[in-house]
Every structure is written in C-alpha cells, then in structure tokens.
Structure 1
Amino acid sequence: MMLDTAMKDQLKGYLTNITQPIELVASLDEGAKSTELAGLLEDIASLSDKVSFVRTGTDARKPSFLIRRAGTDIGVTFAGIPMGHEFTSLVLALLQVGGHPSKAAPELLQQVRDLDGDYSFETYFSLSCQNCPDVVQALNLMSVLNPRIKHVAIDGALFKEEVDARKVMAVPTVYLNGELFDSGRMELAQIVAKLDTGAAAKAAEKIAAKEAFDVLVVGGGPAGAAAAIYAARKGIRTGIAAERFGGQVLDTMAIENLISVPHTEGPKLASALETHVREYDVDIMNLQKAKKLIPAARPGGLIGVELENGAKLKAKTVILTTGARWRQMGVPGEDDYRNRGVAYCPHCDGPLFKGKRVAVIGGGNSGVEAAIDLAGIVAHVTLIEFDGQLRADEVLQRKLRSLSNVKVITSAMTTEVLGDGDKVTGLSYKDRNSGDVHHVELEGIFVQIGLVPNTEWLKDDIALSQRGEIEVDVRGATSMPGVFAAGDATTTPYKQIVIAMGEGSKAALSAFDYLIRQVPVDESGEAETATASAAA
C-alpha cells in the first residue's frame, strides 16, 4: 500500500474535481517496483468512480504508466513512481487530464495551445529534487493543452542505463524530440518562450509601454516580495521585475528557522510568497533580468531600469532585492563540466551519483550538510576545505566524523576540474601547507562555497562593498537618491530569509517616506502640483 489513510482522504477530495473520466494505463514487469506502482495505481483508482486502472500498457520503460483522458489522445506519462517531491505533479496531472482547469495565466495557456509543431519531451527527475516538479508540471500541462505536445517524466534513479547512455548528470534535464533541450529549473513561461521565438519581443514591447511606477522592486525573493507587499499596501503604483520569482529560496531544501513556520521547503515558500503578492495590486513582471540602472535626470525625476530584453521601466523610487547565487570555484574545467559532473545542488543531483565517488568543495554548514546527505547515497565523499579547519557547526562536524565513507581534507585549494571530454573524472588540489599538488579520481563535484551577490550590473551606478554587496544605511538607502536595497545583495549582515523579509519591508517604508517628502517634477522638468504619491 503506497498511500496512508491521510493521503487517501486528501487525494479523494482532490479527485472530486475531475469532470472527465481518466484511465491509468500501466506498463509493468515482474520487478518489485512494478508491484509497488501497481499498488499505488490501484489505490488511486479506488478513490474515484471517474478513475480506472488497467495493466495493458506497452511502454518499453517498465514500470511506467499513462494518465489518459478516456476516449482521447490527451495524457501524460510517468516512468517510475512519482512520490516524494513529484507526488504533487501526479495529483495535478490527474486533475488536469481529468478536465480540471489550470490556474496559470489565460494568455499563457492560449500561447501553449497556439504552438505550431510536434514536440515530444522527456524529463529526467529525481524524487529528492525540489526544482524538478516545476518542469514536470509545466510540460505535463502543455501536453494536456496541446495534442501535438507529448511528455514523459522519467525517474533517473530507476532508469540508470538510460541516464548513463545519455550522460545525464543533473536534474531536471529535458530532451525534446531526442535532443537535449535544457537543464535546471524552468517555469512554464520560460519553456514556452524558448519554443515561441516571438514571445520575448512581445513581452519587451508590452513592458516598455507601462506607465511609471511609484515603487519598482527589482528581484522576487523574500526581500522583494516583502517590499512589494508593504509598498502596495500604501495604495501606490507598485511593480516587481524578477528574473525568477522566489529567487534562491527555490533552490533551498528544508527551511526550519522561519519564525512561526516550524518546517517548510523552498519551492513551497516561494509559491506562498507569490500568492501573497498577487493578493495586492502589484504588476508582476517575471522572467525579467535587469541590465542597467539609470539615475534620475534631476531631483524628483524618474529612475530608469533597463532590462535584458531591451525594455526600459521607469519609477519614482526603486528597491533592489536581486539576492545572491552560489559562488563558483573559478578554476579550469568547472564551466566545461557543469551539469556533467559539476553540480551545486546535492539534494537534486545526488541520486544520479549512487555508488560513485564524489567530492564536496566547502567546509561550512552547507558543505558539511551536503557531505552528510551524499554519504548515504554515493560510495565515497571527499570533502575539501580551503581553511585549516572546518567552519560548520560542531553538531554537524560530529555527524560527519561518524561516517566511514567520508574523507576530510583541509588547507586545500582546488585548482582544476578534470574530465574526459564528456564527464568529470577527477580534480586537482594544492596543499596550502606544502605546496604539493594532488589528484583525486571521482565522478562528481558538488560546490558549496557560499554566495556571491547579483550586483555586477550595478557596479558603475551605486556604491558597492569590496565583496560586491550594495552599501545601505539603516533605512535601506543606497548611494543613489530614490534607490533602496534589501536582502542578500546588500551589506546587511546574516543572509537569512527572515532578515531579508524584514529588510525588504523596511526598504518599502523608506521608499514611501522618500516619496511623500519629494517635490516631484514631470518629464519636462516643471514642478508638479500634485502626484498620486503625495495624495496617497
């Protein structure tokens, strides 16, 4: 039995939303996993009279199953058992194939329906990957909306020979019509934009036509979401431009220190942030990366933000919440073997290295936690730390020392990633005490050496610290009048979600205070007699 009583009760409630009968068509063999899958599908079919289960599937991948709308070709396929992070993908697939409408933006859904071409997608996922469900769910939805789109979601851990043959070393990895399409987290809009070549130009044209904002937030992580909410609650025109809503939170596994929320996961929190922001009158411009900050031509004038797609936004105040990203080693071979053995998410990609030898670079909390997690999956872990000692909490170090398949090397500087042209075969490091260079044979390298702020695009416009962080005062103000900043991209110490939320809220309040104390000017430089900001 795959589903406990609580899960069955919850799923039974969801299945009441099915309006059209669906069939679960299983392709099974005599293996234990096929027996397990059959049990799951029997459980699901028992919960609704609109769901039937048959074992007549002929898919070469076993175990697998097709969710098909009865009497049609509309359906999605899972190769494997979609539990763990993919259970939500299974539930959504059941509902959508069964006729329950998606909550995605209507114009985006129509864009999928209008795609002209035959698209056969295959997505490799792992059950521990928190980024995979977004991709699986997006492609499943596309296959329901457009009969010329097909999608199979494949558990890489169950189909190891296939993964090895295609040299898949990171998840999610997506193939389109037999060729590599992309890897990493993608949203529905991103996938559609890659297929609909005119979409980017249309989006840029639409953005460029927008009126000036009172507050424009750049970045969609916890700080950006908090800033947008606090600004919108003041009744002023608020916009948020984000490269990906949720930011680095989307790459975070377990979150247990967000006050009043004992436990959550990054993607779940990111979804909650976006839902909260959408409750207010906020113009959300997702998948938009900022390129240039343009100061106001005169005091009280409009500040410009140029986007990568060429569109320009204008605002009376700007709040920068661009966050940070994983720091790279910056050594030869790292870029060449990214997603071919060099990885940054042990939770996502760890299962692909089962039984192999890997290294973890970094001895802080993230690095030691990664080594502990990987030790339960891989054959051996070598942890390499630049400093003379590990910097992780002692409780984590004790756990690490208790593991027999982990070796710790300190005072070591990684100098090169080695490979055979297709995949990682090892790494070189320099002993910082003796100067000797050593080589380690392995198949995977997980980089966990901290964060770097996403501020390169600002270096010529506002004051940055030596680490590239935006310098802010106690009110969140930067060196450019009318521009504020919050979160991991700033000099505010302690990069924590709860701190980013607080700083984002403070920056919005500071921006509002700045607005009501200004004497605005129009584009010609003449003083305005009244503004929406002052009236608010």
Structure 2
Amino acid sequence: MLDSNLKTQLKAYLEKVTQPIEIVASLDDGEKSQEMLSLLQDIASLSDQITLKTDGQDARKPSFSLNRIGGDISLCFAGLPMGHEFTSLVLALLQVGGHPSKAAPEVIEQIKNIEGEYNFETYFSLSCQNCPDVVQALNLMAVLNPNIRHVAIDGALFQDEVEARQIMSVPSIYLNGELFGQGRMGEEEILAKLDTGAAARDAEKMSAKAAFDVLVIGGGPAGAAAAVYSARKGIRTGVAAERFGGQVLDTMAIENFISVKATEGPQLARALEEHVREYDVDIMNLQRASKLIPAGAEGLHTVEFENGARLQSKTVILSTGARWREMNVPGEQEYRGRGVAYCPHCDGPLFKGKRVAVIGGGNSGVEAAIDLAGIVAHVTLLEFGEELRADAVLQNKLRSLPNVTILTMAQTTEVKGDGQKVTGLVYKDRNSDELHNVELEGIFVQIGLLPNSDWLKGSVELNRFGEIIVDAKGQTNIPGVFAAGDVTTVPYKQIVIALGEGAKASLSAFDHLIRSSSPVA
C-alpha cells in the first residue's frame, strides 16, 4: 500500500511513539477493506509499539480504531485516510502513542476540562484541503479527553450515510447525531462552540491588553508579512484575525509562488503562521473586527470586535482580504451547503455521478468544471458574458470533455430546491430574455471575490467596489491607518503581491511612528 519512500518517512515519525498502540480493524470482503488491511499491516510493521487486530465489530466497514493500550481513547477512521488525510492519520498515531501535541497549553487544558459526553462524526473527502483541520482537531480532543469520541468518515465511501443525512458539503460535523458545523474549524473554534462563555472571557482578556505600536487586522499573506516586518523593528505588534491564513486556506494548488515550485494553501498558511510565531507577536485568532474608530486626542486608534473586545494602537494595518462573491439570487442562501457550494475540490466528490452547474467562465470556473467533469455525470457551465474569460489552454481542455455543456450570455436568476436540497436552477438567456430551467443536484459558484470591508464603511475611504483606497505607501485617508492585500485598490490579487504590500504597509507604519511619536513602551 505504501511505497518504500513513504515507509521510510513514516518509520522515522513512528520512532516518536512512546506508548503501545492497538489498531482494531473492522473489515469485509470488499476491495477497500483489502486496501485498508494492506495499509494497516504496513503501519504495524514499522513500529514495535503498534499491534494490529482484525476482529473489529464496527458497523462501518472498512474502518479502524486507534487505541492506547491501558488508556481510554475513542478515535476511529471509517475509510482510507489517504490524500489530504494521511497527515491526519500520522498525527493520530503519534498522539495516541504519547507524543505531545503542538497546541497551545491553554487550549490543551481547556480540552481536558470539558465535561459531558461528546460523540463527534466528521464527513470528509480525500480531495478536501479544509477537512484535515477538523479531523485533526477532533482527533486531538478525543486523545486528550475520554468524554470525547470521534469518527472521521470518508463521505465518498459511505454514500448511503451521505444520502441519508443529505450531506452536500464537507467537512460536515455531527455531534451526538445532530449537525454541529460545516467548513474549516480548529480546536479553538470547536471549543468556542462547546464553551459558550469562552467569547466573553476572550473579550475581557483582549480589552485589558496594553496599546500596540502596530495592530494588524487580518491573518492572510498581507497580514503575516506586516506582522513579521513590524516585529523585526522591535515594536509592540499584535495580529487579530478571523482565521489565520485567510483565503489561502481555501486555495488548492499554488504553482506561481516564486522560489516554491508547488505547494497547497493550507501548507503555506501553516508556514506563514509559524514564521509569525517566531517573533514576539501577540496573535489573537478567531476575532472578527466590527468597527474602526480613528484616533482621538490620546492618539490611539480603536478597533472593536464582534465579541465586545476593544484594542487600541498607535497605527493600524487593515489586511482583511476578500471572500467568494455570491450570486445574490433567490434560493442561494437557503440551499448553501445543501447543493450550493463554493469549493469544487472539497465538495466535488459528494456529487459523484450527479449533475452539477458551475457559475463563472473565468479561470476558476473553467478549472472547476474540468475537475468536476471527472467525477460527476454532467457539468453545465454558465457564463454571464459573450465568451469565456479563462486562459485558452483551459478553454480547449474544457471543450474537449464530452460531459460538459457551455452556456454563454446566461444569467442565473434562481436556485431551485425541494426544501431539503438543490434540484435545479433558472437562468435567463441574455440574448432573448427567455428563462430556462436546468435540472441538477449541485451548483458551484466561481464568480470572483468581494473585499472584506463592510465593517469599515464610514471610517476609511472605499471605492465603488468596496476596496480600501491606498496610496503608494499603503496609507489610507486616515493618518496612521494603512491597508494591504486583496482588500485594497492595489491591482492583481495574488499571494506574492499581498506579501509585498503587507511588508510595505508595515514599513510605512514604522516610518509614521518614528516621525509622529515614540513607540508604545
């Protein structure tokens, strides 16, 4: 199952296992069970601390549990954790085997202190780059607290469960049989939902912090670069982000990041955060800003957050990035996560053998249609304009596929459903104004980005697209407030450009500090 190179790497990792592990597999006569058996035999052969039993009685087959001999851990994989989930398997083996987690000590302590019974189930797809965060977070929680149980389920392998629960988006998380959440979540986010008093405690801690020299709002590439460049100046630096990594976390393949031939978004996001943490930066994750109050007589800008917290700083760098643009048609919000999706890599496998639409004829839309065509029964691509806007090589590939229909001058006007899931869409032919119905089960929206600047209206100057207007130094219309990245008017929304803009905004903020006042003590 595993090639020699992977075995060598895995063996090195498993040397960190200090406590004996028992793998219990529940198998049948199917092909996937044989693949699982081969995988588990390979793993067991690489460490004297690991034993394998094949007499499991789990109703889900194939599946296997990881148990610490003499311990009380309930952690299970239903399906083959390969692809993006192989890292989840390796981490689970290490953590069940006694190797300490890199999670923050306060997070570990909070997990250990949770009381009650929590039975989690996570449905994932092997092509989903968001799913490992959820799987790894809940696996860790199951290792640390015997009250928490977790099963990670490959939705493509257990289609009957996916159909019964009408799951059309991954990761989908169930707690004690009820839907708990969808989309990327880490330990802190899960804990925030379980511990209802956490937000108030966070707000109190944040509001008690001393003023910063530079406060960065946003944790994407621009925010990370700004934080590093500020911290290197030796000044008091803080980063408040809704999720560190930003939109990079939702990016699959990155092949134009100079000096790195190829990487994936989550991998780059982790590297960005690790780099920032090398410096003395106060990182406040899971914090959504709600209001910017420009400096008053005391010379400090104030940022308010949705949890009620307030932070103050001599200078502020706004780097809140952008989000997927929505169609804003009837039915879109009602069926979001129930057939309306925005990540073809994550959710595509759930639509195997079904009919789907892709909205948008740019590079993202055409790439999505090409990827989906290899999974689903049929793809209908709808483009608002007269012709597709994607690169010629992508268009040629798309037109060569037999199960793709391309519609131009097509304006989506409504998402149709039966109250539970998507059943079709309505589009208007912009040449004739005639309405047409398309029967399908999934709609993937790929029509560009919107800047995350709604909370700034009335404080900094925005253009008609909602982008923050900045000058050549990243300065906004408010002295001491700078901006960088996809939320600004700077053209070409690319990771490498956002990094440079973040660094530039930080240098500009430092220049402002030394010219206007001394840094905060």
Normalized against structure 2, the TM-score is what? 0.99
SS of aligned partner of 2:516: coil
Measured in 2, the distance between the counterparts of 1:19 and 1:349 equals 37
SS of aligned partner of 1:157: coil
| Displacement of 1:315 | 0.2
SS of aligned partner of 2:121: strand
Measured in 2, the distance between the counterparts of 1:165 and 1:283 equals 45
| Displacement of 1:197 | 1.1
Measured in 2, the distance between the counterparts of 1:265 and 1:104 equals 22
Contact 2:74–2:148 (8 Å) recurs in 1: no
SS of aligned partner of 1:194: helix
1:327 counterpart residue number: 325
| Displacement of 1:70 | 1.1
Contact 1:414–1:430 (8 Å) recurs in 2: yes
Number of residue pairs matched by the alignment = 521
2:418 counterpart residue number: 420
* 470, 474, 477: which one aligns with 1:472: 470
**Mapping for residues 279-318 of structure 1, pairs under 5 Å:** 279-298=278-297, 301-318=299-316
**Which amino acid letter does the alignment assign opposite residue 339 of structure 1?**
G
Measured in 1, the distance between the counterparts of 2:506 and 2:80 equals 45
Measured in 2, the distance between the counterparts of 1:435 and 1:291 equals 41
* 504, 507, 514: which one aligns with 2:502: 504
SS of aligned partner of 1:332: coil
SS of aligned partner of 1:220: coil
**Which amino acid letter does the alignment assign opposite residue 388 of structure 1?**
E
| Displacement of 1:73 | 2.4
**Which amino acid letter does the alignment assign opposite residue 418 of structure 1?**
K
SS of aligned partner of 1:480: coil
Is 1:390 matched with 2:388? Answer: yes
| Displacement of 1:168 | 0.5
**Which amino acid letter does the alignment assign opposite residue 269 of structure 1?**
L
Measured in 2, the distance between the counterparts of 1:532 and 1:453 equals 31
| Displacement of 1:74 | 1.4
Contact 1:414–1:429 (8 Å) recurs in 2: yes
| Displacement of 1:75 | 3.6
**Which amino acid letter does the alignment assign opposite residue 277 of structure 2?**
R
1:522 counterpart residue number: none
**Mapping for residues 451-466 of structure 1, pairs under 5 Å:** 451-466=449-464
| Displacement of 1:56 | 1.0
Is 1:442 matched with 2:464? Answer: no
Contact 1:69–1:75 (8 Å) recurs in 2: no
Contact 2:254–2:262 (8 Å) recurs in 1: yes
Deviations 1:40-83 (A, max 9, x none): 00000000000011101000000000011012221410000000
1:72 counterpart residue number: 71
Aligned structure 1 segments of 4 or more residues deviating by more than 3 angstroms: none
RMSD: 0.8
**Mapping for residues 22-421 of structure 1, pairs under 5 Å:** 22-298=21-297, 301-421=299-419
Measured in 1, the distance between the counterparts of 2:416 and 2:508 equals 50
Measured in 2, the distance between the counterparts of 1:108 and 1:207 equals 16
Measured in 2, the distance between the counterparts of 1:269 and 1:75 equals 31
Measured in 1, the distance between the counterparts of 2:217 and 2:198 equals 21
| Displacement of 1:423 | 0.3
Measured in 1, the distance between the counterparts of 2:198 and 2:291 equals 22
SS of aligned partner of 2:204: helix
2:12 counterpart residue number: 13
Contact 1:76–1:152 (8 Å) recurs in 2: yes
Deviations 1:411-469 (A, max 9, x none): 01000000000000000000111000000000000000000000000011011010000
**Which amino acid letter does the alignment assign opposite residue 80 of structure 1?**
G
**Which amino acid letter does the alignment assign opposite residue 346 of structure 1?**
P
1:523 counterpart residue number: none
Deviations 1:371-405 (A, max 9, x none): 00000000000000001100000010000010000
**Which amino acid letter does the alignment assign opposite residue 467 of structure 1?**
F
**For structure 1, which runs of at least 5 residues remain unmatched after alignment?**
520-530
